[in-house]
Structure 1
């Protein structure tokens, strides 16, 4: 029976990087996989077309209540895309919305949760959504936060909550079926970090293939592709999706007051994941 491996994260935390690695790992190409076809192998759960198929009518005719109630059916449609496992991107919390599970466990095999220091996330969120830093801080503290519909991407409204709420919700997922990756470890020790993910997925692959996938999914490769042919998942609020790709930017960008505000707001979760500034 087919089932989903969720690629979950708060927005701008390394989900696209993870998907790029998985594409290059599984396809084992001679050249880096085109970033504009990532969704072919690792689709997102927010496409309007899924809900139109599940509901049997154009998306604009569906009420928000109907969209929410269709979520389990949508997840089963996605799970059925492949005979075995299918990797699916989501920014949703691991919880319920109006009584409907945001993650349908009946068609779930496991999850990879990608987390990033909120002090750096806020800078990327600010750029991606066209918000001032203080506006991004407010968004990341909003327990009811959502990504509005994205007509250009064909996506529905996505509820992801606050940074802490999103991360904390996924700590309740079955620990034996979930693997957590820190963005900073992906950058500082890629062989160990991505290798651990491959082991979690129980993929028996040679080290050379893993190393090639790491190389082909690097920030520099992705940024070069975006410069040459654009990236269809890019926001219309800024010029680049792949902006800097470096941990620790907050030390040069955020004011002391902004650092204090973020750490006060997310202190418990930051401590749990090792992100409290020394």
Structure 2
């Protein structure tokens, strides 16, 4: 089976969209920086529609666990419908279903591009994205939650097993996961975009020139994306969020995340923060 999937994996609000936009620009020069040309492969409503076409039962008739039973085979079938390589967004854990099958067959996955971000910034950005208070976001980051966890009706996208922030970010780099995986920190992407995106693209075995890379990175700059969202909208923005591209900076948590919530995050996620070089004062170690 050909390796056709490039998974861009992250906890929500960690830079997933930015990475996919740069890769899209490398694959299709005419789509560089085009928000609404992003292929939402296997995600959201598109994922549900394809599931309903390919599975033996409709998602609305199944529980989340039953959906998981079918997903590995459905994902395999979905892949054949996409251009190769298919750039696939996921906020899910690296996980298996109850039969022991990985949600994405390892023999189909060419690479996992794993993006992490300081949990202080994630909390503030996630709250803005979901229309929550910052405290609600911190609680969710410490809970093994699913999006769409209570209602699987036709109007909603799939239930998505995100897990805790720690489970999510550690799982993709754990000893049991079967994929080729490169991890990059959002903060490092901000500091040295060209170098890090070059490493990501080489890892995913893209063929490109420096001119291609510069064009794609420039087209996906935060200011340009925010301007495009304001003028043309962005289909991945949920109704709960006034703006998808909010800040795009490190330390956006300052003045918005109270000290008691900072301490709660550090206590709950100490192991994962240490693993990725995230310090209790909201900064990062130089080399992750």
Q: Say which is worse superposed, 1-10 or 264-273, in terms of deviation.
A: 1-10
Which of 41, 44, 50 is the equivalent residue of 1:43? 41
Deviation, structure 1 residue 106: 3.4
TM-score by length of 1: 0.90
The aligned counterpart of 2:4 is 3
Could you tell me how far apart the structure 2 residues matched to 1:155 and 1:214 are?
A: 30
Deviation, structure 1 residue 189: 0.7
Structure 2 CA distance for partners of 1:255 and 1:62, relative to 1, 3 Å = closer
Structure 2 CA distance for partners of 1:151 and 1:119, relative to 1, 3 Å = farther
User: Is there any run of 5+ residues in structure 1 with no aligned partner, and where?
Assistant: none
Checking the alignment, whether the CA contact within 8 Å between 1:50 and 1:77 is kept in structure 2 is: no
Q: 2:172 matched to 1:170? A: yes
The aligned counterpart of 1:19 is 20
Q: 2:157 matched to 1:159? A: no
SS at match of 2:114: strand
TM-score by length of 2: 0.87
- Alignment deviations for residues 195-231 of structure 1 (CA, whole Å, 9 cap, x no partner): 1111212233211110110001111111111101111
Checking the alignment, whether the CA contact within 8 Å between 2:114 and 2:172 is kept in structure 1 is: yes
Equivalent residues, number: 273
Could you tell me how far apart the structure 2 residues matched to 1:13 and 1:248 are?
A: 13
Could you tell me how far apart the structure 2 residues matched to 1:152 and 1:33 are?
A: 31
The aligned counterpart of 1:218 is 221
Could you tell me how far apart the structure 2 residues matched to 1:4 and 1:153 are?
A: 27
The aligned counterpart of 2:199 is 196
- Alignment deviations for residues 25-45 of structure 1 (CA, whole Å, 9 cap, x no partner): 11012x744211202xx5134
- Alignment deviations for residues 102-160 of structure 1 (CA, whole Å, 9 cap, x no partner): 33223222211011111100001111111111111010001x21111698985211011
SS at match of 2:86: strand
Structure 2 CA distance for partners of 1:68 and 1:85, relative to 1, 3 Å = same
Deviation, structure 1 residue 49: 1.1
Checking the alignment, whether the CA contact within 8 Å between 2:135 and 2:261 is kept in structure 1 is: yes
Deviation, structure 1 residue 101: 2.7
Checking the alignment, whether the CA contact within 8 Å between 1:54 and 1:70 is kept in structure 2 is: no
Structure 2 CA distance for partners of 1:97 and 1:138, relative to 1, 3 Å = farther
Deviation, structure 1 residue 77: 2.0
Checking the alignment, whether the CA contact within 8 Å between 1:93 and 1:161 is kept in structure 2 is: yes
Checking the alignment, whether the CA contact within 8 Å between 2:26 and 2:32 is kept in structure 1 is: no
Structure 2 CA distance for partners of 1:139 and 1:259, relative to 1, 3 Å = same
Deviation, structure 1 residue 56: 4.2
Could you tell me how far apart the structure 1 residues matched to 2:22 and 2:169 are?
A: 22
The aligned counterpart of 1:121 is 122
Could you tell me how far apart the structure 1 residues matched to 2:113 and 2:222 are?
A: 20
Task: Decide which structure has greater helix share.
Answer: 1
